[in-house]
Structure 1
Amino acid sequence: MQQKKKNKKNPFWLLGSALVFILAQGKWLIGLLKVGKFGGVFLSMLISIGAYAWLFPWSFAIGFVLLIFVHEMGHVIAAKQKGLPVSAPMFIPFLGAMIMMKRQPRDAVTEAYVAMGGPVLGTVGALVVFGLGYYLNSPFLYSLAQAGFLINLFNLIPIHPLDGGRIVTAVSRWLWLVGLIGGLVLIIYHFNIILLIIWAMFAYDLYNKYIKQRKTGSEPRAIAASFLIPAEPLIEQGYLIPGEEHKRELPFLTYSDLEGQQFVEVNWEGLNFHGTIALGRQALIRRTHVTRLERMKKEDGLYLMLHIQVDYEPFENDKYYEVPTASRWKFGVAYLALAAFLYGMLTFVQKLSQALPGL
């Protein structure tokens, strides 16, 4: 009698079943995704797991995404230690994950410290997986640990926006040139489309920063902000409301707080308006002006939507890169030691894996 072959369940069947369950029976789970910043993290993790499951078994996809999560949490912890507000990790399939700094670091040392947090904690996470694999003699965990060591080593390439490019900012900016040449060599001998995109962006950024800018000067930039103002109190007080296409320059005052965050305070006395706009970086303000004035009717009355644009020129502060010699050595030694350790672990795990029958 022939036995029926046992069908292996495809990971997408499992993900599909889970999705059907959520839609049919677990609407409260969808509600949870809308509560707090961790909802978006969880959702992007699920999407990434599904994407990686196209290439790997679902169990490996889950473990891989969790290792990336540990890496990103290293950045979050380091940023919190330095008092920098950051977003929760957001996962991007096949590109890893990222966090957004809500305020730029004050100096290269802070930038390097935050960048170093990811590979350090990520390496610890990969070591834990390796330890479990060694204890259980598990080919699967060896493979997962190897992937963890690899993604952390890859991130140490001295190219922006990879962690290595930010770490060497506190060592020597000449190492960016090493990353530029070394990255090109890697692309030629071990072609990787993701590395090619990152390298091209880095090369273009260096060109703009050190070649084009010195020839033409900094290009002006702009940031826009909108403010909602109750209109009826203004009308009652006799203020004249301009038309929607009204444009004018506004007086402004700019200042920075103790953390280095720059603000632009704009005023329009004709509408009794005072507003504050935060800049993402230090800049020279060229002008602030009204681009549009919308009238909006709501249930509780008439409102004005005031659209303001701030034109500015980024201010490159060379003091940002002034790093004490002791700190340069500290980050340099830590960077090289971590890279060497990760490479050594990759080689070691590969040899162990080859000795196992499961790999």
Structure 2
Amino acid sequence: MGQALLVLEDGRAFRGEPYGATGETFGEAVFCTAMTGYQETLTDPSFHRQVVVMTYPHVGNTGWNDEDDESSRIWVAGYVVRDPARRHSSWRSRRGLDEELARQGVVGISGVDTRALTRHLRDKGSMRVGISTVETDPAKLLERVLRQPPMLGANLIDEVTTPEPKLIAAEGEKRFTVAAIDLGIKAMTPQRMSQRGIDVHLLPATTTFDEVLALNPDGVFFSNGPGDPATAEREIGLLRQVLDAGLPYFGICFGNQLFGRALGLDTYKLRFGHRGVNQPVMDLRTRKVEITSQNHGFAVQAPLDTDIETPYGIARVSHIGLNDDVVEGLELRDEQGRVKAFSVQYHPEAAAGPHDAAYLFDRFVELLEGRPTTSEGGEN
């Protein structure tokens, strides 16, 4: 089957076998703790320019189908697995995972001690990496790894956003119109809104505030996406105009980080990030714990237990990660104490992942209706 080589930017090297396309690829090495849902993971634009290491050893057993993609393509820069399935078995599968990786030109490596690799990334932090099926000398591959740009300071929004506006129509009777800024959105997110009677206008990241207002939206949404939120000055400026206008706002993942920065908070790069479908989060409003799907390497810096004065009102941390107390949600209240904008750091659309947080879309509907959001939540 040939050989493949993986080299991290600190010189640590692993050898294995080619998996997917042959050739060479570079990116940021990150690990994902999900046991399943690899198709949704691979097609999540938030993984753009990242080489994903799967901690679960057995990958590919359900093959690849034509229904579960979260976007039009695989976005990961490379894929690292330990024990790929010898054959795929699912009534929905159309081809093998390795076949799809090869078809889309994604270079991967198998037969790697992913436990050792993950422990290394956990201890040393996410770092640049290269995978090659043509280079056998670790020193030579390392030279090319070190020439790659880091994720810190990377602006990738224009590489993943939709080139043209799109309408995802409401299912059944239309109740609301939402302007959704595509920063790397997953397909399930507008679907969850359309199921609740929302016309979702999916808009390029270059959309101006006047173009948003022209839609006469009931609210504005910012999606997940890749890159460093500190570089998204254009999008942060748009969000500040949305907040100035008092439009209801909901943000997910990258949309949470940009919400924080729009409020005047800082963001920072996590040591190794949160990626997987098994991340515990507490909703501080209800004290309920949700098991969530996450994919982020940056987070908002904010006090966890005090009000935050902003130019738009009083903000507060609404959700925290129970593994490490990372900010997992923010909310902004008006003078009467009612929520007028909120965001979460994880993926409540559950693709792939648990459904504990689906209630957040109902909270958004309540916000669009102009009534106080409920204190009850969760399909726990």
**Structure 1 length-normalised TM:** 0.22
Bigger CA radius of gyration: 1
- Which structure: greater helix fraction? 1
